[in-house]
């Protein structure tokens, strides 16, 4: 080995070892690491009928990229013989350049992007692109293998990587001496290992995909999600993930749950009514989680909540100032073996005493990143896999009571249950709805509005338009910082000062559009245009939405 190449190899291996991706102490029988992908289920469904553009195998070295047409032919033969699909040799080579020191995961992600880009520019008509990438930091050693499979939209469909963490790879002993024949044999052997892994990945995915096909989200039998009149069901799926009711907590925090009939009476309750008791002592975070399960208690269940507008629940407040969080567990990746449900969340404050009926519009919930590899495809409400209620830091131990977690098909503010008062019994975050949701303010809201106007106008004597513009621009600043919850509150304040403020109306339009409320967004765009002055960007956004909005 010449000295410059030896130095490059040493530098590369030092980098990947620091990233924790080399020289595994323990191996797994898993046939590689395949990250979840929303397109994976369709790929499995297409097996046997799809066409594949197979690119020359990339041999990635520390100094340059080479290619193997022998390995490409091995892959084509395998796809035919395994019945995976019709393979077409793609003539274009994908040049990944030098293999710079990096983790295999970063190399893998960069490879996915490169393959998607090459496929988009390719004249080959196929459903999927397939290419192997064999990492050879020196001529005599295979460090890792990537198998890239992307669909025509450029999405990862079934890609995976292999390294010494995987038993199949570790046992292959992919090393060679300095003869060219031995190095060529090493590449053929590495290709064979990759194809073994692909065959095993497909074998694992096929029965799972068949099972998923029978798990379409089902409509709930009732809009009452949880009434807490019986025991709290609990169980676990085959991978050990708790199903039914469970608690979760961070460091120096605890949560305990149970049902009880010994509680302050809920307005309008029947005798013997049971509620959820949630005891918390929180320094970081803790709460209760209901993951929906089937009757056996060991399989996830997804419900179809489409058509529901709000999630409501009774909560007994302690006026503690504690931040509370309600989550909806939305979509998961098909065939997932983890809790990778997408979380949509709303935060509010325990600033009241006694029972209050909360109703949270789904449109004000925002995606919460919990680093669980969840999909990122919007709050579709089909399927929904559960809900949670949590607290951030509490001042010692506190006990909350919860009752009647329920879906609402029309807003609570439009249909207040008999015997309840908008003034004292219910709470809806109307200040996060455009124009406060269009609801007439309650007496306490009107009092708060007047107090705000007095304070806001103090800095703009007699000039409501200038004050409104100040709050509208503050709203846009929050919007561009990613804080859309505060942004719409500022837009509402601007609108309260001046109902014709264009920047506030424009803000309502953009946030409504992003929430999937196309009709409302078009309405606010029109009002913003009418308010003037003429703005080409505003007109373009309006015209674009008119063309693309569903009718």
The reply to whether 121 and 249 lie within a common domain is no
Average pLDDT over residues 45-63: 93
Window from 21-30, 128-137, 175-184, 305-314 with minimum mean pLDDT: 21-30
Percent of the chain with pLDDT over 70: 95
Phi-psi region of 260 (alpha: psi -120 to 50; beta: other; left: phi over 0): beta
Q: What is the pLDDT of residue 100?
A: 82
The reply to whether 53 and 132 lie within a common domain is yes
Task: Examine residue 218 and state whether it is found in any structural domain, yes or no.
Answer: no
The reply to whether 421 and 484 lie within a common domain is no
| Strand ranges (E), 411-462 | 426-427
Task: Examine residue 267 and state whether it is found in any structural domain, yes or no.
Answer: yes
C-alpha to C-alpha distance for 96 and 106, rounded to whole angstroms: 13
The string of pLDDT tens digits covering residues 374-384 is 888 889 999 99
- Any idea which residue has 């013997």 for tokens? 272
The reply to whether 342 and 408 lie within a common domain is yes
- Any idea which residue has 């961070």 for tokens? 250
The alpha carbon of residue 382 and the mean position of all alpha carbons in its chain are separated, in whole angstroms, by 14
**Mean pLDDT taken over the chain:** 91
Window from 64-68, 203-207, 341-345, 476-480 with minimum mean pLDDT: 203-207
Task: Examine residue 482 and state whether it is found in any structural domain, yes or no.
Answer: yes
Model confidence at 17: pLDDT above 60:
no
Average pLDDT over residues 438-450: 92
Q: What is the pLDDT of residue 22?
A: 40
Average pLDDT over residues 281-304: 95
Average pLDDT over residues 201-217: 79
Q: Of 428, 462, 483, which closes a domain?
A: 428
Structure tokens at 447: 């009092």
Q: What is the pLDDT of residue 35?
A: 84
- What residues make up the domain containing 487? 437-548
Model confidence at 18: pLDDT above 90:
no
Q: Where are the alpha helices (DSSP H) in 481-517?
A: 484-497, 502-514
The DSSP annotation for 81-138 comes to HTTS-EEEE-----------S--HHHHHHHHHHHHHHHHHT-----SEEEEEEEEESB
Q: What is the pLDDT of residue 487?
A: 97
* Count of the separate structural domains present in the chain: 3
Q: Of 393, 428, 463, which closes a domain?
A: 428
* Class of residue 540 by CB neighbours under 10 A (exposed 0-12, middle 13-18, buried 19+): exposed
C-alpha to C-alpha distance for 329 and 355, rounded to whole angstroms: 25
Report the residue count for the chain. Answer: 551
Structure tokens at 27: 């191996």
Average pLDDT over residues 446-460: 93
- Measured CA to CA in angstroms, residue 105 lies from 75, 443, 499 at distances of 23, 57, 52
The reply to whether 191 and 248 lie within a common domain is no
Model confidence at 324: pLDDT above 80:
yes
The reply to whether 239 and 386 lie within a common domain is yes
Task: Examine residue 96 and state whether it is found in any structural domain, yes or no.
Answer: yes
The reply to whether 420 and 451 lie within a common domain is no
Q: What is the pLDDT of residue 371?
A: 87
The reply to whether 258 and 395 lie within a common domain is yes
188 three-class SS: helix
Q: What is the pLDDT of residue 12?
A: 43
Q: What is the pLDDT of residue 213?
A: 65
346 three-class SS: strand
| Strand ranges (E), 120-253 | 128-136, 144-151, 160-162, 224-226, 234-236, 242-249
Average pLDDT over residues 428-444: 94
250 three-class SS: coil
The reply to whether 186 and 263 lie within a common domain is no
The reply to whether 259 and 142 lie within a common domain is no
Task: Examine residue 219 and state whether it is found in any structural domain, yes or no.
Answer: no
Q: What is the pLDDT of residue 25?
A: 57
Q: What is the pLDDT of residue 461?
A: 86
Between 350 and 137, the more confident residue is: 350
Q: Say if strands 310-318 and 397-408 run parallel, antiparallel, or are unpaired.
A: antiparallel
Average pLDDT over residues 287-314: 96
- Give the range with max mean pLDDT: 25-29, 228-232, 273-277: 273-277
**CATH (domain of 246):** 2.60.120.430
The string of pLDDT tens digits covering residues 495-522 is 999 999 999 999 999 999 999 899 999 9
Q: State the Cα torsion 532-535-541-543 to the nearest 10°.
A: 80
The string of pLDDT tens digits covering residues 116-151 is 999 998 777 899 999 999 999 888 899 999 999 999
The reply to whether 231 and 192 lie within a common domain is no
C-alpha to C-alpha distance for 455 and 294, rounded to whole angstroms: 54
Task: Examine residue 447 and state whether it is found in any structural domain, yes or no.
Answer: yes
Q: What is the pLDDT of residue 62?
A: 86
Average pLDDT over residues 146-158: 94
Task: Examine residue 468 and state whether it is found in any structural domain, yes or no.
Answer: yes
Which residues, other chains included, contact 258 with Cβ-Cβ below 8 Å and sequence gap of 6+? 232, 276, 277
The reply to whether 239 and 388 lie within a common domain is yes
Average pLDDT over residues 232-254: 95
Model confidence at 304: pLDDT above 80:
yes
Model confidence at 212: pLDDT above 90:
no
283 with 277: CB under 8 angstroms? Answer: no
* Class of residue 34 by CB neighbours under 10 A (exposed 0-12, middle 13-18, buried 19+): buried
Q: Of 372, 396, 428, which closes a domain?
A: 428
């Amino acid at each position: 080995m010449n000295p410059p190449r030896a130095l490059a190899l040493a530098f590369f291996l030092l980098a990947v070892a620091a990233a924790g991706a080399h020289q595994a102490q323990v191996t797994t029988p898993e046939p590689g690491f395949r990250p979840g992908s929303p397109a994976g289920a369709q790929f499995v469904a297409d097996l046997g009928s799809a066409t594949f553009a197979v690119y020359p195998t990339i041999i990635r070295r520390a100094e340059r990229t080479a290619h193997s047409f022998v390995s490409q032919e091995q892959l084509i033969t395998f796809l035919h013989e395994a019945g995976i699909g019709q393979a077409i040799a793609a003539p274009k080579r994908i040049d990944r350049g030098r293999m710079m020191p990096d983790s295999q995961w970063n190399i893998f992600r960069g490879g996915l992007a490169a393959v998607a880009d090459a496929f988009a520019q390719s004249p080959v008509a196929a459903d999927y692109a397939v290419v192997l990438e064999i990492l050879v930091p020196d001529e005599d050693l295979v460090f890792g293998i990537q198998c890239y499979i992307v669909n025509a939209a450029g999405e990862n469909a079934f890609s995976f990587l292999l390294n010494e963490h995987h038993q199949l790879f570790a046992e292959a002993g992919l090393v060679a001496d300095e003869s060219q024949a031995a190095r060529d044999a090493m590449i053929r052997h590495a290709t064979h290992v990759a194809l073994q892994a692909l065959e095993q990945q497909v074998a694992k995915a096929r029965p799972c995909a068949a099972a998923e096909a029978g798990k379409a989200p089902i409509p709930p039998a009732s809009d009452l999600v949880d009434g807490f009149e019986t025991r709290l069901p609990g169980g676990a799926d085959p991978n050990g993930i708790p199903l039914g009711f469970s608690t979760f907590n961070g460091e120096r925090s605890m949560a305990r749950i149970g049902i009880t009939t010994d509680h302050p009476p809920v307005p309008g309750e029947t005798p013997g009514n049971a509620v959820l008791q949630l005891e918390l002592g929180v320094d970081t975070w803790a709460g209760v989680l209901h993951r929906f399960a089937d009757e056996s208690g060991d399989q996830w269940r997804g419900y179809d909540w489409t058509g529901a507008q709000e999630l409501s629940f009774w909560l007994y407040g302690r006026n503690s100032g504690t931040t509370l969080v309600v989550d909806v567990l939305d979509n998961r990746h098909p065939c997932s073996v983890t809790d990778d449900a997408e979380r949509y969340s709303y935060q509010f404050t325990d600033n009241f005493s006694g029972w209050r009926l909360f109703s949270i519009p789904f449109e004000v919930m925002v995606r919460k990143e919990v680093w669980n590899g969840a999909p990122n495809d919007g709050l579709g409400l089909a399927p929904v896999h559960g809900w949670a209620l949590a607290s951030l830091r509490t001042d010692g131990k506190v006990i909350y009571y919860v009752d009647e977690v329920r879906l609402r098909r029309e807003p609570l503010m439009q249909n207040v249950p008999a015997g309840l008062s908008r003034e004292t019994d219910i709470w809806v975050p109307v200040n996060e709805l455009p124009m406060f949701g269009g609801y007439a303010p309650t007496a306490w809201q009107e009092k708060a509005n007047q107090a705000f106007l007095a304070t806001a106008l103090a800095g703009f004597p007699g000039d409501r338009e200038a004050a409104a513009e100040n709050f509208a621009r503050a709203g846009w600043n929050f919007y561009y910082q990613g804080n859309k919850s505060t942004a719409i509150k500022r837009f509402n304040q601007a609108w309260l000062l001046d109902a014709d403020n264009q920047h506030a109306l424009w803000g309502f339009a953009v946030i409504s559009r992003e929430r999937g409320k196309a009709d409302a967004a078009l309405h606010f765009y029109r009002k913003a245009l009418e308010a003037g002055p003429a703005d080409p960007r505003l007109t373009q956004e309006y015209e674009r939405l008119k063309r693309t909005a569903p009718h």
